[in-house]
Amino acid sequence: MTRPHEDLERHTPTDHRPGGVPVDFAPGAWCAVDVVHVKANRVDAGISAYETLIEKSRTASPHARTAVVFRSVNDRRVIVLVAIDGHVAFRHLQTAWDDHHLNADRHAVAESTTLALYRVIASTGAASFDPETHDAYAFERVARAPDRLHALVPVIAAAPGFRGVVVFGSDDASTSAIVYRFAHAAEFDAFRASAAARQSLGATGESGESVAAVHPVRTFG
């Protein structure tokens, strides 16, 4: 049996209660983004695993700072955003999260993960992530170059119910990720079904795999 001080050396104590202060990601900031597909009955375990990964990264390195963990409304995804210093910091994070023990924690609950480096290319409105708000958030990842989405930001901002939006561009400029914030889910759905959104972003498809209603369940400021 291990002694208490040995357990503390091996494990980082993590507070798994939901909540946290509102956080945001400034334009130009580098961010590690992981989209994790889970079975619905394992979503809580997935959230806990990623909270532990984030806390370990923040403890081990000053390069991992602000972070947010989202839970999809259908309980099939955990989405993680972690602000970092850039390419070197991302490689450190990637290596740490691929460590044998962390890998076991992560893949015990994940069907698939897609950790990648992004940069914030646009942010407007009330673009913070607040676990206490009743606003509706949605996350979307599209195969569009980030520079093609700049013109869409004013269109999003003009939509009824708009509260805020953050647009991320992948490091290789092949993919964009968008986090929307609307007053009500129905208003976001109406915007996403609009002709302007469909022309710029493409149809979501019947499976809805490109866009997911989410809510921030935990932030690290």
Q: How far apart are CA 46 and CA 52, in angstroms?
A: 10
Distance of CA 137 to the CA centre of its chain: 11
- For the chain, the distance separating the N- and C-terminal CA atoms, rounded to the nearest angstrom, is 36
CB atoms within 10 A of CB 182: 25
Identify the residue with better confidence: 82 or 6. 82
What pLDDT band is residue 6 in, cutting at 50, 70 and 90?
very low
Going from N- to C-terminal start, the domains of the chain cover: 28-220
pTM of the predicted structure, to 2 decimals: 0.86
Question: Is 60 exceeded by the pLDDT of residue 188?
Answer: yes
Residue 173 vs residues 142, 146, 147, 148: alpha-carbon distances, Å? 11, 6, 8, 10
Q: Collapsing DSSP states into helix, strand and coil, what is residue 135?
A: coil
> What is the length of the chain?
221
Overall fold of domain 28-220: Alpha-Beta Plaits (3.30.70)
- For residues 68 and 36, the answer to whether their CB atoms sit within 8 Å is no
For 220, the token pair is 């690290």
Using CB atoms within 10 Å of the CB of residue 136, give its burial: 0 to 12 exposed, 13 to 18 middle, 19+ buried.
Answer: buried
Question: Residue 5's pLDDT is what?
Answer: 32
pLDDT at 206: 38
Helices (H) and strands (E) in the chain, counts: 7, 8
pLDDT, position 205: 45
